[in-house]
Amino acid sequence: MKLIEAKDYKEMSILASRMISEQVRSKKDTVLGLATGGTVLGTYQQLILDHQDNGTDYSEVRTFNLDEYAGLHKDDENSYHTYMKKHFFDSVNVSAANTHLPDGEASDLEKECGDYDRLISESGGIDLQLLGIGQNGHIGFNEPGSSFDSNTHLVKLAQSTREANARYFDRIEDVPKHAVTMGIASIMRSKKILLLASGVQKAAILNDLFHADVSEDIPATVLRNHPNAVIIADREALSKLQPDERKMFAR
């Protein structure tokens, strides 16, 4: 696992967007695994600027998002379908037919989960998977205790996760209690993983990511077993790591 230290949120976003755009330019039919939330918002903004300024071409790119709330219609203002269209898809030349998110309203969610993993596999697998990290160590919506062997599945969201996401809803009671998420095994099959972390509120869990035992109690620690995982984090998020540790992990 390699660490790249950024000065602040903006620099983290710029560095992440460069890595993603370089991947797209080097492989026109790249398969991107995408994430949602506040941490990755700046990255999408930078990718849009790069597309406008440099013409990075997404016409052959295929995308698979990590997750979607269960029970929300894709046109709901808080759905991740809507988030992706608003913050990225509508501003680059990616084909709608090539963008994929789990269907949280599927009549048979178990079948939807299996179909989603099969579609990823049929597309050749994910070349680069973008991740954030929850304060409890979740990646995607894989909460503490999630099996490292899990594929895409329906998950009950932890109360802390619902509270963290409540800022996007009118009331916490409106935050869905379940979601469909890529499982940890699904994520780990990606050829490259890029995890972003920003802010002092992520400092404790980022310290755990590097120092705690690899355990299903802290799902993100599984990334230490991936052969090509990169962490880009700003100084606030790295504030619990000593300078010599940061240099060591950057090698």
Sequence-distant (≥ 6) Cβ neighbours of residue 215 within 8 angstroms:
221
The reply to whether 143 belongs to the active site is: yes
Q: Give 251's DSSP letter.
A: -
The answer to whether the CB of 220 falls within 8 A of the CB of 139 is yes
The reply to whether 67 belongs to the active site is: yes
Q: Where are the alpha helices (DSSP H) in 27-153?
A: 41-54, 80-87, 109-122
CA distance 127 to 144: 26
Catalytic residue among 50, 68, 103, 143: 143
The reply to whether 234 belongs to the active site is: no
Alpha-carbon 227 to chain mean position: 18
**Crossing angle between the packed helical segments 80-87 and 41-54, to the nearest 10 degrees:** 40
The answer to whether the CB of 181 falls within 8 A of the CB of 155 is yes
CA distance 70 to 60: 29
Pairing of strands 229-234, 99-100: unpaired
The reply to whether 226 belongs to the active site is: no
Catalytic residue among 67, 68, 112, 234: 67
CA distance 52 to 68: 28
Catalytic residue among 51, 81, 138, 226: 138
Phi and psi, residue 13, nearest 5°: -65, -40
Beta bridge partners of 38: none
**Active-site amino acid positions:** 67, 136, 138, 143
